[in-house]
Structure 1
Amino acid sequence: MNNKNETLWIAHPLVLEGEHIRLIPLEGQHLEELYEKAADRKLWELVPTDCSQRETFFENYTQALAARDKGIQYPFVIQHKQTGELIGSTRFFEMYEADKKLEIGWSWITQKYWGTAVNLESKLLLMAYCFEVLGVNRVQLKTKDTNIRSRKAIEKIGGVFEGILRKDKIQADGTTRNAAYYSILDTEWEAAKSKINQLIFERE
């Protein structure tokens, strides 16, 4: 399916711009620069796929481009507006237009921007597009059940805990992980949006 096929739920190219960052569609020419940032193993300690390994990174991010062509994922790179550098990535996946739902995930930013407004602004841009443009009923987020930092971050932005899916994924080392599932519904979006804006304000 052609990238520019406007019958896809998310018409390509989609650019989402905030005050600090710009979310731009992942393209092949981004991969080398993005991998330089992704090579930090600490970024992948609590996720099932270790993309600090070059072969694993290129395999997964090339697959993401193919999945976009099929309309089942939409990967972004996170670009810092002031410097122009690529500082991370995120994507839409588990996309079900008929049921008006999708998941936000595969999200990471370089350590330099941990604790800043960058991740919050990224989530704000993505969810505003989901609820206010696509008109979704549900945005799903998940993380490893033992990743307390990530779980608290999801809860702070209004994510409602739904439960633990046991042995949800097989990790790179062959062990399994449990996943904590969260969601934000359309009826909860305005309250969540207010929370995110307040958290951004506090970090600026």
Structure 2
Amino acid sequence: MSVTAVPLTLTGSLVELQPLQASHAAALLQAAADGELWNMTFTIIPDARTVDAYIATALRGREAGTMMPFVIVRRDTGQVIGSTRFWKLDMANRKVEIGHTWLSASAQRTGFNTEAKYLLLTHAFDTLDMVRVQFTTDELNAKSRAAILRIGAKQEGIVRHERIMPDGRKRNSVRFSIIDPEWPEVKARLQEKMAR
């Protein structure tokens, strides 16, 4: 059985990462409305016209064994505040990418993102035995780049014209990674951040 076939919930003290379902459409739209995130030009966040296709793509990826999509839920309120996923899952080479991560405007620069990343990285390295976890963000997305560096990933370079954005812009993407020998130090740093 595929590692992605079993619905997986990752639980922390602040957030719970629950398997994305078609029934999450309204909650995702409400989360994205906090900041009107669908207006961002350097990432793709669903709006009312695209949410069903956004979810369908993620669920097809889960069925194919290449993705594990989640909603990010606040444990204190039960409110969906965003989404994230494992994707580009490659069990043969023991590597995965964490991406498609976004949080409601009011949940950004809080402990929610740090804990969500910690849960994903811990599952990737300690349970799935990955040797590499990578992150990719738009060259123009300074906030995302800074957040990825803060968790301890290393910048590897810029992939030019890596994808075409919905507005037709040819996006340059910045690639980051954490590899298995670096994980213990990154894990300790994240635990220290969460304790604060």
TM-score (norm 1): 0.90
Question: What is the rounded CA distance, in whole Å, between the counterparts of 1:155 and 1:22 in structure 2?
Answer: 23
- After TM superposition, give the deviation of residue 22 of structure 1 in Å: 0.6
Q: How does 1:79-90 map to 2 (within 5 A)?
A: 79-90=73-84
Q: Where does structure 1 lack aligned partners over 5 or more consecutive residues? A: 1-6
Question: What is the rounded CA distance, in whole Å, between the counterparts of 1:45 and 1:201 in structure 2?
Answer: 32
Q: 2:182 matched to which residue of 1?
A: 188
- After TM superposition, give the deviation of residue 198 of structure 1 in Å: 2.1
Question: What is the rounded CA distance, in whole Å, between the counterparts of 2:78 and 2:44 in structure 1?
Answer: 27
Kept in 2, the 8 Å contact 1:48–1:169? The answer is: no
Structure 2 counterpart of 1:45, which letter?
M
Structure 1 counterpart of 2:44, which letter?
T
TM-score (norm 2): 0.94
- After TM superposition, give the deviation of residue 10 of structure 1 in Å: 3.1
Kept in 1, the 8 Å contact 2:83–2:102? The answer is: yes
Number of residue pairs aligned between Structure 1 and Structure 2 = 195
SS in 2 for 1:54: coil
2:44 corresponds, among 36, 40, 49, to 49
Structure 2 counterpart of 1:54, which letter?
A
- After TM superposition, give the deviation of residue 168 of structure 1 in Å: 0.7
- After TM superposition, give the deviation of residue 27 of structure 1 in Å: 0.9
Q: 2:89 matched to which residue of 1?
A: 95
Judging changes above 3 Å, is the alpha-carbon distance between structure 1 residues 192 and 43 closer, same or farther for their aligned structure 2 residues? farther
Q: 1:75 matched to which residue of 2?
A: 69
SS in 1 for 2:176: strand
2:165 corresponds, among 168, 171, 186, to 171
Taking every aligned residue pair, what percent have the same amino acid on both sides?
35
- After TM superposition, give the deviation of residue 43 of structure 1 in Å: 5.7
Kept in 2, the 8 Å contact 1:142–1:182? The answer is: yes
Q: 2:25 matched to which residue of 1?
A: 31
Q: How does 1:7-18 map to 2 (within 5 A)?
A: 7-18=1-12
Judging changes above 3 Å, is the alpha-carbon distance between structure 1 residues 48 and 113 closer, same or farther for their aligned structure 2 residues? closer
Q: 2:145 matched to which residue of 1?
A: 151
Question: What is the rounded CA distance, in whole Å, between the counterparts of 1:72 and 1:84 in structure 2?
Answer: 28
Q: Where does structure 2 lack aligned partners over 5 or more consecutive residues? A: none
Question: What is the rounded CA distance, in whole Å, between the counterparts of 1:44 and 1:80 in structure 2?
Answer: 24
SS in 1 for 2:50: helix
Match status 1:104 vs 2:98: yes
- Report the RMSD for the aligned CA atoms in angstroms: 1.5
SS in 1 for 2:171: strand
SS in 1 for 2:140: coil
CA deviation digits over 1:146-192, x for unaligned, max 9? 22221111111110111000011111111111000000001100111
Question: What is the rounded CA distance, in whole Å, between the counterparts of 2:42 and 2:52 in structure 1?
Answer: 17
- After TM superposition, give the deviation of residue 200 of structure 1 in Å: 2.1
